[in-house]
Structure formats: C-alpha cells, structure tokens
Amino acid sequence: MRVKEMRQEVTKTLADFASSVRFSDLPEEALRHSKKCILDLLGVALAGSMTIPGRIIIDFVKKLGGEPEATVISSPLMVPCTNAALANGTLAHALELDDGSRYAMGHPGVVVIPAALAAAESNDVSGKDLITAVVLGYETFIRLGSAVNPSHFRRGFHTTGTCGTFAAAVAAGKILGLDEDGMANALGLAGTQSAGLFEFVSDGSMSKPLHPGRSAQSGVLAVL
C-alpha cells in the first residue's frame, strides 16, 4: 500500500508542478538556454536527414500519410503531429550530435523539443508557450534521469528512451494546457509506453536513433 501511495505522490507532485508553471516564472538563464537548445536541435535534425536512418524515417512517415498537422524537419512534408515527433526525434539523434545531460545520463532535447514542436505547430500556440513547454520537459527529463541512474543505465536501459517519454508528455501536455489531473493521466500513459534498451551496443543495429523518436511520439500520443 505504501509503494502505491509513493507512486501517486510522485506523479501528483510532477503533474502539479508541470501544470502550474508559467512563462513568467522562468528565469532569464532558462529562457536563453532553451532558445539555444531549440536552434541546436533544428541543426542536428537537418544534418540527420542526410543519414540512412534519417532517410528511412522520412520515407516511413511519408508512406503512413494522414492529416498534415506538423512539419518534418528538412522537408516540406507535413504529417500527423505524432508522426512528426517520431520523425524529428529520430532525425535529431541520427548523428548523436544532440545535447545531453551527464547527470541524467541521456539526451533531453531530442525527445522534448520534437514533441513540443509537433504539439505547438498542430495547435497554433505562441512562442512563449513553446519555450515554457521545452523548459518543463528538460526539467522533467533531468530530474527523472538523475533519480534513476546510474543503476538504470547499468541494467541496460536507455534513459533517452525511457525517461524521455515522460518528459515528452510533460512538454506536449503543457502545450495543450492540461491541468493537474490531465497531466497526471498523461504521465501514466507515458509510463506504459516507456521503453529503450542498450542492446544496440552489442549487435550494431540502427535502433538507437529510433528511441528518442518513439519517446517523442509516445509522449505526444499520451496527451491526445
């Protein structure tokens, strides 16, 4: 019973925090760095579009089709917001030039920003809303990643894929204006989709860039 109460308490605390923070609450340093992170993400995604994994994921979401809600970086292609998050997260990690946190042992920007951009473009929100969502997504990723690592990493889990799903859900949920209950529900749905294994280190597969793409996609899906 105590374990269940602790889970609910952690989820409630995070949901309350994420739903209550406003743009005016953000320190100037966070605003400045968030803008740099967004520009950096766009740059590495553009470069990633020229890689083999990049071309594969662009072709994949193009074949899926659907409503033209959000842009795939590097192309005029517009796809459903969930698939834009998938493509852009994958593109941005294809060359592994994206930002990272040594404390969280993962890459926050590559999941948070694609999710936030896809949700923002499909809902026509302001730049301030986008930046607020990005900052909160980073905060979520780094706090969760720092809490579970290094043991999480040592057990073979890829933090970018696992903790990234929660961070993407917070970012997208903030864009959609979820209240505390809505954010808590989104975090629960993110948790059931959270995934990412380090098996690619052994077999050399191209699955690693897919992890942030899927995390960004799952985070957006969790809030819809």
Per domain, the residue ranges of the chain are: 2-223
pLDDT tens profile 76-96: 999 999 999 999 999 999 999
- % of the chain surpassing 70 pLDDT: 96
pLDDT for the residue numbered 8: 67
Residue 122's Cβ-side half-sphere holds a number of Cα atoms within 13 Å equal to: 26
Residue 1 reports pLDDT greater than 90: no
How far the first Cα of the chain sits from its last, in Å, is: 30
pLDDT tens profile 140-193: 999 999 999 999 999 999 999 999 999 999 999 999 999 999 999 999 999 999
Residue 3 reports pLDDT greater than 70: no
pLDDT tens profile 9-29: 889 999 999 999 999 999 999
Residues 6+ apart with CB under 8 A from 209: 48, 53, 57, 90, 91, 93, 94
Residue 5 reports pLDDT greater than 90: no
Question: Which band of pLDDT confidence, cut at 50, 70 and 90, is reported for residue 206?
Answer: confident
64 vs 3: which has the higher pLDDT? 64
Architecture label for domain 2-223: Orthogonal Bundle (1.10)
Residues 6+ apart with CB under 8 A from 106: 100, 141, 145, 158, 159, 160, 163, 164
pLDDT for the residue numbered 9: 85
pLDDT for the residue numbered 2: 57
For residue 153, give both structure tokens.
């990493």
pLDDT for the residue numbered 12: 92
Residues 6+ apart with CB under 8 A from 199: 156, 205, 207
pLDDT for the residue numbered 4: 58
pLDDT tens profile 24-38: 999 999 999 999 999
pLDDT tens profile 41-51: 999 999 999 99
4 vs 143: which has the higher pLDDT? 143
Q: What is the Cα–Cα distance from 78 to 62, expressed in whole angstroms?
A: 8
